[in-house]
Amino acid sequence: MAKAIKVENLSKVYQLGEIGTGTLSRDLERYWARMMGKEDPFLKIGEVNEQSTKSKTDIVWSLKDINFDVEQGDAVGIIGSNGAGKSTLLKILSRVTSPTTGSVKIKGRIASLLEVGTGFHPELSGRENVYLNGAILGMRKAEIKRKFDEILDFAGVERYVDTPVKRYSSGMYVRLAFAVAAHLESEILIVDEVLAVGDAEFQKKCLGKMSEVSKGEGRTVLFVSHNMDAVMRLCSHAILLKNGYLTGFDNTSNIVDLYLRSDFGTTARKDWPENELPGNDVVKLLAVKANDISGNVKDAFDITEDVYITVKYTILSAGYKLNPALNFFNANGINLFDSHQSGHTVSNGQTAPGQYEWVINVPGNLFAEGTIIIGVAIVTHDPFLIHVHIPETIAFTMIDKGENNPTRGDYRGSMPGVLRPLLKWESRNL
């Protein structure tokens, strides 16, 4: 497979604050250093370590020593927290800005949708901007004309096509900008998270078009998003950036799992050292894990799969009827539900000191895609007393592979929502 993009030792440095009178002398110093084959003094004062992209000077590394290749026709997600360097990387790949060091080799024409307002002339009409963007890509007028009606239909701005785009709302602007980028004949499509401006229906439409562009037309797609479900659905591979460094490039499910676990600082298993066991003089937690039916700890589960939460604990004082409680949250901090054991299903009366474990079965076809965070508590109900409560104990990822999924049926589009239970459907003749 041919390489569409090759990035080697890519770095980007910015200078904070206002440019002062010393800029010209610094530029001359850098030029002379290059002529003499010496190290760039601008880069030397900006040296940083891996824990921070900021030095003690006004120099900031937005990207540092980035290396990766993208195959032609591949759809690659670029993820990371705010300030990780995602938008800077896209701007360099789109040739909006130049790298400080390193090289980028690109095979083919690029259509980019970066920030709202990029690429369109505000005084020109929508029609004129479509033709202008096509000309910039090197397309003939006849080629643009052939695509024009399709672009307008996708964007839904036919009524305003001869109005200057400076009068468009942000939503109209993004719809037309995306339609132009996706429909004109470029080999590489680069999309930043400007899609967040559009409504949910248009976002779904855009994801469908990007999938068609990549899988159906064999064009390369780079997609920056904080929506992990969208990245999982669209991209076969993903890049993880953190503080300007590339910390992972792998298949999408592995990178999303790495990002979510590093973001929350939790994994699918938690064991406490003996001298740090949470609890009181009645009960202490020993370990909590998410596992499959065979007891194997897993960081990712298919949404059709049963998840087992195993809570291991030690009772120190007799005379208490102890009960487990679980809190279930998604990546946005939404409390999906809580679960408490009821009646005599787990503990039956007073329990003697010793080590025990609870195993809680969460049935498949309940969670939607995304990260699930588990909080664990041990309580007594009469009188009510919380002996221990750890809000973010473990976390794991639910993945929708889109195959043999009974909650989808034959539907293959986006399925929003925080839960996806398998409901009973019945058809009746009336």
d(CA 61, CA 13): 4
Tokens of 200: 């949910």
Which run of H or E residues covers position 4?
A: strand 3-15
State residue 263 phi and psi, 5-degree precision. -70, -40
Per-domain residue ranges of the chain? 3-21+60-263, 269-399
Please answer whether residues 11 and 61 qualify as being in contact, where contact means their C-beta atoms are separated by less than 8 angstroms: yes
Domain formed by 3-21+60-263, architecture:
3-Layer(aba) Sandwich (3.40)
Q: Is 271 helix (H, G, I), strand (E, B) or coil?
A: strand
Low-confidence stretches of the chain (pLDDT < 50) are 18-22, 45-56, 344-345
Q: From the centroid of its chain, how far is CA 206?
A: 17
Q: Report the topology of domain 269-399.
A: Coagulation Factor XIII; Chain A, domain 1 (2.70.50)
Provide the residue type at 344 as one letter. H
CB 393 within 8 A of CB 327: no
Q: What CA–CA distance (Å, rounded) separates 198 from 192?
A: 13
Q: How far apart are CA 227 and CA 371, in angstroms?
A: 11
The Cα–Cα gap between 383 and 400 comes to 42
The string of DSSP codes covering 101-117 is: EEEEEE-S-EEEE-STT
> What strands lie across the sheet with 110-113, from one edge to the other?
110-113, 188-191, 220-224, 75-79, 237-242, 245-251
- The three-class DSSP label of residue 98 is coil
Helices (H) and strands (E) in the chain, counts: 9, 18
CA 196 to chain centroid, in Å, comes to: 13
pLDDT tens per residue, range 145-190: 888 988 888 888 888 889 998 888 877 887 888 888 888 778 888 8
Q: What pLDDT does 325 receive?
A: 93
How many angstroms separate the CA atoms of 13 and 63, rounded? 7
In angstroms, the CA 370 to CA 260 distance is 9
CA Rg value for the chain? 27
The upper half-sphere exposure of residue 231, i.e. CA atoms within 13 Å in the direction of its Cβ, equals 29
| Separation of CA 220 from chain center | 19
Lookup: tokens for 75: 């759809």
Peptide bond into 278 cis (omega under 30): no
Long-range contacts of range 251-258, CB-CB < 8 Å, 24 or more positions apart?
252/77, 253/300, 253/397, 253/399, 255/77, 255/79, 256/79, 256/228, 256/231, 256/232, 256/397, 257/299, 257/300, 257/397
Interatomic CA distance for residues 345 and 354, integer angstroms: 19
Angle at 221 between CA 215 and CA 227, to 5 degrees: 100
- Parallel, antiparallel or unpaired: strands 323-330 and 307-315: unpaired
Task: Characterize the bridge pairing of strands 101-106 and 3-15.
Answer: antiparallel
**CB 214: neighbour CB atoms within 10 A?**
21
Three-state DSSP class for 283?
Answer: strand
Beta strands in 99-175, from DSSP E residues, in sequence order:
101-106, 110-113
Rounded Cα distance, 394 and 56, in Å: 37
Q: Quote the pLDDT of residue 254.
A: 80
Residue 9: both structure tokens together: 């030792």
Is this model's pTM higher than 0.85 or not?
no
Residues with Cβ within 8 Å of residue 280, at least 6 apart in sequence = 387, 388
Spatial distance between the Cα atoms of 264 and 55, rounded to a whole number of angstroms: 26
